[in-house]
Structure 1
């Protein structure tokens, strides 16, 4: 064998080793691509399931929000009906305050009349005091 043949043989063996290495790498890449395809398919299935579940949840949430709005409108309507009650209670408070003021005025007036020793009847004094308070 000549030097050229030995060099060609070494080159052929090196090329065969290189080809075998590339074949090994290609098989590994093919296996990895296959696993990647499986993972992508599972992810797509999971995403599809999650999307369906999310759609169902959104429909239920929308129904709950609608019911909440109806309930809130009902509560607001019922609270609106209590406004006259609170107005009446406020008017009653003003009336009681006015009555207390009139009673104080009557008491102080009667006390001053009794101190002066006036002989005017109590009924007349009460009537005039009440009519004067009404004019105010």
Structure 2
């Protein structure tokens, strides 16, 4: 065996080892690709079923949203009526405060006027009573003289 033949044999063995390793690598790669295909197939089936469920949930959500919008539009007049009632209560409250202020002002005026009228009335009554007493006294005195 010559040096060239020995080099050729080493090259052939190295090539054979390379081919064996490449076959093992391709075999593992083939298995990995098969697993990947199975996983993708399973994911596709799961996504299809999930997509159907999501469509159903979205459909139910749309139905609920329409129902809520319909009920909300039916409640709008009631909410407006409550707002009107609350505004009316505020208006009545304002009117009552104004009336209470007027009554208080009038009461103060009446107290002053009543005090003067009371004093004047007392004076008039006392004066009339004194005149009556004086008149009676004069009558009794005149009746005694006769």
TM over 0.5, shorter chain: yes
For the aligned residue pairs, the C-alpha RMSD in angstroms reads 2.4
TM-score by length of 1: 0.69
Aligned to 2:40: 40
CA distance in 1, matches of 2:54, 2:18: 53
Aligned to 1:89: 89
Greater Cα radius of gyration, structure 1 or 2? 2
Shift of 1:69: 1.6
Go from structure 1 to structure 2 and tell me whether the alpha carbon gap of 1:118 and 1:110 turns closer, same or farther (over 3 Å shift). Answer: farther
Q: Which has the higher contact order (CA 8 A, sep 6+)?
A: 1
Aligned to 2:109: 109
Which is helix-richer, 1 or 2? Answer: 2
Tell me, which stretches of 5 or more residues in structure 2 are unaligned?
A: 122-146
Aligned to 2:137: none
Shift of 1:99: 2.9
Shift of 1:37: 0.9
CA distance in 2, matches of 1:107, 1:20: 119
TM-score by length of 2: 0.65
Shift of 1:7: 4.1
Go from structure 1 to structure 2 and tell me whether the alpha carbon gap of 1:6 and 1:81 turns closer, same or farther (over 3 Å shift). Answer: same
Aligned to 1:67: 67
Tell me, which stretches of 5 or more residues in structure 1 are unaligned?
A: 120-136
